[in-house]
Amino acid sequence: LSALNQSVRRKRGLYRRTFADPAQVLPSVTQVHLPDEGTLTPRVHAIFQHLIGENKLEVLVCVHILAVCGVTYLVATVMINVFLAWMVSFLANLDFALICVAVFLSGLGLFLLPPVPGAPIYL
């Protein structure tokens, strides 16, 4: 999006190097090289340079955490259906009161988990 914004600015003749100091965007940045004809806006370019200059291990850990969250959201939608099918077969021979308690507790637990969609719980 930043690259598209920058290319539109250049084509319309609106790009000037009189933008805000990158230190206002990231207070810890003291000196950032801003290109005259870059593909990104100066603000996004300053953020990328800050990330590249930081501890790369920290950045990779954050990327891995985000990747695990993304995979969890993808897998959770499939595994909820598997869990509910298993629960139906497990509760088939139990007493009605015990089934009501188990369904209430599992539904409450599933509603409290962020990656679980609501539709399978209602069914």
Helix then strand then coil, in percent of the chain rounded to 5, is: 70, 0, 30
pTM value? 0.47
The answer to whether 6 and 39 are in contact (CB under 8 A) is yes
pLDDT digits (tens, 9 = 90+) for 97-118: 999 999 899 888 888 887 777 7
pLDDT digits (tens, 9 = 90+) for 54-97: 677 888 888 899 999 899 888 888 888 888 889 889 999 999 99
**Which of the 8 DSSP states describes residue 32?**
-
**What residues contact 18, with CB distance under 8 A and at least 6 apart?**
none
Q: Which tokens go with 122? A: 């209602």
